[in-house]
Amino acid sequence: EQLERFKELLQGRRLKRDNPVFDVIVSWVKSFPIGIEESERDGLKGLICQAFELTRAELAEELLGGPVKKEKEGPSAQEIEDELWRMIPNGGYCYRYAEFTRHSEAPLAYHLFCSLVGVGATINRRVWFEMGYFRIFCNLSIVLIGPSGLKKTTASDIVVGMLQELELTKIYSEKLTPEALIEAMRDMAQGLVYAPEMSVFLGKARYMEGIIPLITRFMDCPSKWSSGTIMRSTTFLTDVAISCLMCTTPDWFVSNTPADTFGGGFVARNILVVQEDSPRVEPIPRPGDPKLRGQLIADLGFLHSFEGEMVMEHRCDKAYRQWYVEQKEVWKNPESEIMATYYQRKPGHVIRIAMCLHIAEHRTLMMCEGCFMRAVKIVDWTEKFLPPMLKKMFKTQAGAEQELVLRTIRSVGGVIDHSDLLRKVQYQMNAGQLRSILMSLKDAKQIEERKDNLQHIYIQVGGNQ
């Protein structure tokens, strides 16, 4: 009865927030001795918002005593890009490439790694680094990963266009069968496998149909290779060197990459460049300077003439050995088994990037300490974005549902009403499943629950998970 009389008093009223009645009303409702049903609570909040001209979010802040203080969710897209800019050597090929693509909305990371793929694909097997029982070549395998609309294909098309114009490197694109790839490599078993849409290029059903094991083998640059049982007639390839540039979304990559392909070699042989956002806003992007583009093409053409063994100068050799020994200790106790396979391949990734950086910037075959340490920084920078995505690859159904709930809370600013949350996830789970997930998240201290007569909300804590 008291509640009904209270609602009648508010009905049709238009009051200011600074009216002392507001604090009295909120205090009275929150301390109301009898629990209010969810539907009744929603109606009551709507009535208060209407009477005092507040939004639901503003009312929630008032009930919490001010704006919710959430932990910092990590660096912004601009801070991430600024950090990477500082790793690019001034004045050289990579810097010119970054300047040429400055007005592309794709994040800097995509452009930097595309520029390095261009170097590796142009040089192919002509430059190598001796590793005792095997050689490391300059060819890189890169997967650009990010949400739809982040201009992954736009970024990769730029370097592919330059390579096509040079006509020094074969480009293998579109859908490929093992037979088609082998046949295309008969005359020259080198080039760039380009998949602007990894989902189209591969497709889930094609993982174990031969193309992935074949590309995985070619990534190791065998000096001699035989088709064996893949084709009706045996084909022999010599001096194989394949670079890869592929683009995909996190959801497709996670859903369509079997766990054994990570440990089995294909994914681990790629450098995964994961970005979630770009600070760049270009309503109508300005094209890069054509003179700068011409210079970049000339740079790649010049690099094609390099041939021979790359060695490390004394200080570089010392720095590499020290880094390797130190990292070996770290790799013994990885933060997860998922990262253990990545760490095994990390030295090779660092050396390849250092080779590409040094040849592009200094045009010599004597690797310097500066280029090696720069390569370490770039790989370490890229590595920071891997764990969240790799965890999703091996997540249980329960884990995936928890991620959905956290993502939903995060999407509305980190604070959400219980009824709003239930409406947003109702097509993925029922109320009972949601309660169970919320209990798990509370136990893990990833969310806080606050509940009284007027509100029932969840607040994300612990930053961006």
Q: How do the domains of the chain map onto residue ranges?
A: 1-67, 77-393, 395-465
Which residues neighbour 140 within 8 Å (Cβ) at sequence distance 6 or greater?
113, 116, 117, 120, 121, 243, 244, 271, 352, 353, 356
The percentage of residues in the chain with a pLDDT greater than 70, rounded to a whole number, is 86
Provide mean pLDDT across the span 444-452. Answer: 83
pTM: 0.76
CATH architecture entry for 77-393:
3-Layer(aba) Sandwich (3.40)
Read off the pLDDT band of 455 (50, 70, 90).
confident
Give CB contacts under 8 A, 24+ apart, made by 370-378: 371/89, 371/316, 372/312, 372/316, 372/319, 372/320, 373/319, 374/87, 374/89, 375/350, 375/351, 376/323, 376/350, 377/87, 378/84, 378/87, 378/112, 378/353
Q: What is the pLDDT of residues 136-160, one digit of tens each?
A: 999 999 999 999 999 999 999 999 9
Q: Which amino acid is at 306?
A: F
Interatomic CA distance for residues 125 and 213, integer angstroms: 21
Q: What is the pLDDT of residue 209?
A: 61
Q: What is the pLDDT of residue 426?
A: 87
Phi-psi map region of 76: left, alpha, beta (phi>0 left; psi -120 to 50 alpha): beta
Torsions phi, psi for 289 (to 5 deg) = -60, 120
Q: What is the pLDDT of residues 22-75, one digit of tens each?
A: 877 777 766 665 566 766 777 777 788 888 888 777 777 776 666 555 555 678
Q: What is the pLDDT of residue 412?
A: 81
Domain 77-393 matches domain 395-465 at the CATH topology level:
no
The edge-to-edge listing of strands for the beta sheet with 308-309 is: 135-137, 127-130, 308-309
The CATH code belonging to domain 395-465 is: 1.10.10.10
Q: What is the pLDDT of residues 277-326, one digit of tens each?
A: 999 999 999 889 999 999 999 999 999 999 999 999 999 999 999 999 99
Helix (H, G, I), strand (E, B) or coil at 303: helix
If we measure between CA atoms, which residue out of 134, 152, 237 comes closest to residue 191?
A: 237
Which residues neighbour 366 within 8 Å (Cβ) at sequence distance 6 or greater?
310, 311, 312, 313
Provide mean pLDDT across the span 428-446. Answer: 87
- Can you say how many angstroms the Cα of residue 1 is from the centroid of all Cα atoms in its chain? 56
Q: What is the mean pLDDT of the chain?
A: 85
